[in-house]
Structure 1
Amino acid sequence: MLRKFLIWFFRNRETGVITVAQAPNLILWIAIVAALLRWAWLSSGQAGVALTVIIKGGLLLWAADEIVRGVNPWRRCLGTAVAIYEIVTTLS
């Protein structure tokens, strides 16, 4: 029973293969590059704020895309978890 659930949870609905991770899309690449720049500069000025907005906004957009178009329940749950995390850390 657990095996059936795991196969259902991770099976790609488009290809039928098990999908845990995928190559980043454009939105996620932009967030990754912004995060690397933020980490490298450790800027607390306007550039740092702009990079933080790009990171959080990019991750929220990526999460929304996964929630709507994720290829399996795992990807949709991952998108939901990232969205909740970003919203909670932004509001706190």
Structure 2
Amino acid sequence: MAPEGTRTGGPRRILDWIFRDRRTGAITIAQWPNLPLWLFAGTSLADWILHPPGPPGLILRLAAGASLAWWALDEVLRGVNPWRRFLGAAVLAGQALALAAAGF
């Protein structure tokens, strides 16, 4: 039996482990966008607004995908908690599936 006052498990401890930032101790679910996410947002927005045909459109879509993959890999390697690492891995897997579906 555990000493009184100690936590032995349960949903709260699991959620704490998943979402707690290992450096600051704060709960971190989302963060302010970093450079790769800003690049993804900018190239995706430009593609959505301009709809450029041919090579310019392809370049914008490739740049958006590469930026998102960069962000995802960074989260897998340096995410502040398991949630952020899982999120990065899920996005990276989605990008890989999109490439496979496109025939790359």
TM range (shorter): over 0.9
2:73 to 64, 84, 87: 64
What does 1:46-61 correspond to in 2, within 5 Å? 46-61=55-70
Larger radius of gyration: 2
1:44 positional shift = 2.9
One-letter code aligned to 2:81: N
Higher relative contact order (CA 8 A, sep 6+): 1
Structure 1 runs (4+) deviating above 3 angstroms are none
Aligned length: 92
Amino acid of the structure 1 residue aligned with 2:91: V
After TM superposition, give the deviation of residue 68 of structure 1 in Å: 0.4
Q: Which has the higher helix share?
A: 1
Structure 1 unaligned spans of 5+: none
TM-score by length of 1: 0.96
What is the TM-score with the length of structure 2 in the denominator?
0.86
2:32, 2:100 → 1: CA distance? Answer: 29
Q: Sequence identity of aligned pairs in percent?
A: 42
RMSD: 0.7
